Structure 1
Amino acid sequence: MIYEVRTYDLIVRGVPDTLKAFSACIEKRQELSPLVGFWFTEVGPLNQIVHIWKYDDANHRAEIRAEAVKHDWWPPKIRPYLLRQHVELCIPWDFSPIPEPGEHGPYYEMRSYMIQPGYMPQSKERWKQAIHERMERSPMSVVMETDIGDASKIIHIWPYGSLDERQAVRDKALADGLWPPAPKPGDELEVQTQENKIMLPAPFSPMR
């Protein structure tokens, strides 16, 4: 299983019209392959949408995309609002939850970490030791690493009912020494850079 993470930068005030264009055809597109979630940014890089699609593998993705563009309704007509597109294919970690449709947010924090080349196994092991207890504090939707796109990158998504809840959970996890998971003695911290964004779901997003 792979997840395609598509991030579009839009012109200022381009989000409403872009969501409207997607809403007109998204149900038809989901008949071909499942949409995991569709969001727009509220905090962080503004005028941005993020949509995630689930496929069996890269060949399945190629087949579905070839089928989709045979129809005049896909892709939606958003060129007037589109500045750039960024696409990543990601593989979920073996202990990652499976993103499920439903009411989980409405606030979703998407965090992206660049990892030193060759240190991904160390990072995964650190997470594995602490993630289940961390998810008892608040759920995680998914954690995955890039296979195609920005190399050596982790993407993880956390839903919260409010930004106050997010802050309280994170402060308590830090105070308890639970999260972020500390490196083992003698290990070098492998995280090079970190980015985050707060997103809200589109009206038609399966994850809300």
Structure 2
Amino acid sequence: MQRGAKVCSSFATGPRQWDGTFYEFRTYYLKPSKMDEFLENFKKNIHLRTAHSELVGYWSVEFGGRMNKVFHIWKCDNYTHQTEVRKALAKDKEWQEQFLILNLALIDKQESEITYLVLWCKLEKPPKEGVYELVTFQMKPGEPALWCVAFKRAVMAHVNLGYSKLIRVFHTEYGALNRVHALWWNENADSRAAGRHQSHEDPRVVAAVQESVNYLVSQQNMLLIPTSFSPLK
């Protein structure tokens, strides 16, 4: 039992998290034909938003789900910080008038998740500009103690092949529970496809994945294209 508790802590949130820092995943579903207009408006006014909190990355979704979708990640020091940011934005007339009011009409739907970095994942940066893949795993209920070791082994098996760079792994705190997001960088979509083909023939990857899928409910992959103003390119 002691050993299991230690393993579980690698995915722990709350009191066992190293610090209060978390990451908000925001997804905007834009009305058809409004994607370019929305992104251009954001590009012109991004300085008004990043004056309040740190933008980690901003992408348009190329493949994997509904079209006309943007995905972005924001860093928060803690929940108090997030509350302060939202209050400040509500009072920021320049932000409200130059961006928010004009662009609300372009958004069809928006979603938000609160996530933490898993404790065994370093914060990595891409070697150069490329494309990104967000892989979302919905794991079986029962807390990470049941699946975190197998999941980590499967992720690291792909990392060790070196065809793709793991940027971060996030564990959802608010949103669908038992959900894990892995953010990968690739030079381009073709290099990603070639690397995945290679991984499917590697016995170490195959064995690790076979173990991990015993705890998997579903998986979704999105190919993300960084915007010109995204810190992660």
Q: Same fold (TM over 0.5)?
A: yes
Residue 35 (structure 1) aligned with residue 55 (structure 2): yes
Conserved in 2, the CA contact under 8 Å of 1:146 and 1:153? yes
Which of 124, 140, 153 does residue 166 from structure 2 map onto? 140
Measure how far apart 1:112 and its partner are.
1.0
Distance 2:213 2:180 in 1: 17
Q: Indicate the SS of the match to 1:80.
A: helix
More helix by share: 2
| Corresponding residue number in structure 1 for 2:175 | 149
Q: Equivalent residues in 2 for 1:65-144 (5 A)?
A: 65-72=86-93, 73-74=95-96, 76=100, 77-100=102-125, 104-136=128-160, 137=162, 138-144=164-170
What are the ranges of 5 or more consecutive residues in structure 2 without an aligned counterpart? 1-20
How much has 1:188 moved relative to structure 2?
A: 7.5
Whether contact under 8 Å (1:37, 1:206) holds in the other structure is yes
> Whole-Å Cα distance in 2 between the matches of residues 128 and 112 of structure 1?
14
* Structure 1 residues 159-174: aligned runs within 5 Å: 159-174=185-200
Larger radius of gyration, structure 1 or 2? 2
User: Equivalents in 1 of 2:189, 2:216: separation in Å?
Assistant: 25
CA distance in 2, matches of 1:190, 1:161: 30
Q: Where does structure 1 lack aligned partners over 5 or more consecutive residues?
A: none
- How many pairs are equivalent? 205
Please state whether the residue corresponding to 2:81 is helix, strand or coil.
helix
Q: CA deviation at 1:23?
A: 1.3
Check if 1:3 corresponds to 2:30.
Answer: no
Q: Which residue of 1 aligns with 2:3?
A: none
How many angstroms apart in 2 are the aligned matches of 1:178 and 1:49?
35
- Mapped partners of 1:201, 1:188: distance in 2: 30
Q: Alignment partner for residue 214 of structure 2, among 182, 189, 195?
A: 189
Q: What's the Cα RMSD here? A: 2.1
Comparing 170-179 and 140-149, the one that deviates more: 170-179
Kindly indicate whether residue 74 of structure 2 is the aligned counterpart of residue 47 of structure 1: no
Give the deviation of 1:14 after TM superposition.
Answer: 1.5
**Which residue pairs with 2:77 in the alignment?**
56
